[in-house]
Structure 1
Amino acid sequence: MADIVNLKTFRKEKARRVKDAEASANRTKFGRTKADKIREREEEARGRDKHEAHRIVRDEDNTDPAR
């Protein structure tokens, strides 16, 4: 004799499996770890700081009119 299967439950489980598989694929395709995000932010900040350190500031707006 065959087991009785609730079709509603079977459909929900199947939908969950499909959704989980899609989520897993998206995590590998788009996901980054928190450590990766932090490292990238720190590298960008370091680059901005290095760039700002080499900036030449000219004081053209505050020239002395007596000159």
Structure 2
Amino acid sequence: MSAEIINLRMVRKQKQRQEKDQAADDNRHKFGRSKAEREAARRRRDDLEKQVDGHLLDTSRPAADDDGSA
């Protein structure tokens, strides 16, 4: 009977990959947002930008009391 030969370098690398994948999965759960959450945030940001743009003063026209005389 012969034992199965294993390459320790490959086993070590496989273990590191699994640990890295587990850490990435944990981070996705901690910090990730679903697509619906991202879309809702984008829509809210767009709505707020439109509201702010609607309240901007129009400075391209000269003021009514400024007749240009000194």
- Whether the TM-score (by the shorter chain) exceeds 0.5 is yes
Q: CA RMSD in A?
A: 2.7
User: Taking every aligned residue pair, what percent have the same amino acid on both sides?
Assistant: 34
Q: Identify if the C-alpha distance between structure 1 residues 43 and 4 changes in structure 2 by more than 3 Å, giving closer, same or farther.
A: same
Q: TM-score, normalised by structure 2?
A: 0.65
Q: 1:52 to 1:6 in 2, by over 3 A?
A: same
Structure 1 alignment gaps of length 5 or more: none
Unmatched runs of 5 consecutive residues or more in structure 2: none
Please show how residues 1-67 of structure 1 align to structure 2 within 5 Å: 2-53=3-54, 55=55, 57=57, 62-63=62-63, 64-65=66-67
**2:47 maps to amino acid:** R
Once structures 1 and 2 are overlaid, which stretch shifts more, 13-22 or 2-11?
2-11
Instruction: Give me the whole-angstrom Cα distance separating, in 2, the residues matched to 1:18 and 1:37.
Output: 28
Alignment TM-score, normalising by the size of structure 1: 0.67
